[in-house]
Structure formats: structure tokens, C-alpha cells
């Protein structure tokens, strides 16, 4: 699963590696796609600045699982084999992470009108 382009990866690691998103080559569609999803999930949870380290870590793990699951499904569609046990375990793990993060969008914290006007001045 992993290709290297200089010091940057062109693909995700075969095993989860904390910080893999930052190690992806920004020129690849994969990096753009995964970072876009990371930003979207953070936004759904109220914005990256309002998330704890643990939440950000879980988001990265969820993205790794999501990619791995999709790659297994692509391989099956292309005539390959699927280890149903590993696939099921990954899907259950992803579901658990998403449940822990929350499935509902959260509003971003907004300043009161007085603070907003004061900051604009």
C-alpha cells in the first residue's frame, strides 16, 4: 500500500501509522481527498480548534480504516479475494470510532455580538 516519493508517501501505510496524513505527498489526489475528509469531519464536530487530541487521533484512524475497507472492496470488485473476517472487524472498528466521535454535526463556537464587533474594530 505504501509508495514513497522523496520524503513523502504516495499512499497510506499498510498498517496504521499516527501522522500518516501529514506524511502523504500533497500533490496526490489521495492526499487531497483524505485531507479534505479530515477537514470535513473536524468541521462537522465543531471545528478542529475545538477538538481534543484524542478526537483528532480518532479521526485519523477512521480515515485509515475507511481507506483500507474501500481498497478491500475494490480488490473484490476486480476479481480478487476478500478476507471477510478482517473486513468485518475493520467495519466494526470504523463504526465504533464514528460512534465515539458522534454522528451528529456540532455547531462551531461563535462569539457573542459584542465580542464579534470588538474584534472587527
pLDDT score for 16:
87
Which residues, in sequence order, are bridge partners of residue 5?
8
CB 13 within 8 A of CB 2: yes
Average pLDDT of span 32-49: 93
Residue 73: which H helix or E strand, with range?
helix 53-77
Beta-carbon contacts of residue 21 (< 8 Å; ≥ 6 apart): 31, 34, 35, 38, 60, 63
pLDDT at position 6, please? 57
Q: Which of 33, 26, 23, 18 is nearest to 71 (CA)?
A: 33
pLDDT (average), residues 30-40: 94
* pLDDT greater at residue 86 or residue 16: 86
Q: Which tens digit of pLDDT belongs to each residue from 67-79? A: 999 999 999 999 9
pTM for the model: 0.75
The answer to whether the beta carbons of residues 8 and 25 sit under 8 Å apart is: yes
Q: Work out the widest C-alpha separation in the chain, in whole angstroms.
A: 62
| pLDDT band at residue 38 under the 50/70/90 scheme | very high
Instruction: Look at the chain and report how many structural domains it folds into.
Output: 1
Average pLDDT in the chain:
87
Domain range for 74 is 4-120
Amino acid at each position: 500500500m505504501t509508495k514513497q516519493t522523496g520524503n513523502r508517501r504516495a499512499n497510506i501505510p499498510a498498517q496504521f501509522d499516527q501522522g500518516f496524513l501529514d506524511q502523504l505527498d500533497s500533490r496526490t489526489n489521495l492526499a487531497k481527498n483524505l485531507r479534505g475528509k479530515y477537514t470535513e469531519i473536524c468541521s462537522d464536530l465543531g471545528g478542529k480548534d475545538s477538538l481534543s487530541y484524542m478526537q483528532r487521533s480518532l479521526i485519523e484512524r477512521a480515515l485509515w480504516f475507511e481507506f483500507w475497507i474501500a481498497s478491500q472492496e475494490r480488490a473484490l470488485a476486480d476479481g480478487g479475494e476478500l478476507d471477510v473476517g478482517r473486513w468485518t472487524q475493520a467495519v466494526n472498528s470504523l463504526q465504533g470510532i464514528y460512534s465515539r466521535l458522534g454522528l451528529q454535526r456540532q455547531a462551531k463556537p461563535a462569539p457573542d455580538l459584542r465580542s464579534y464587533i470588538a474584534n472587527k474594530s
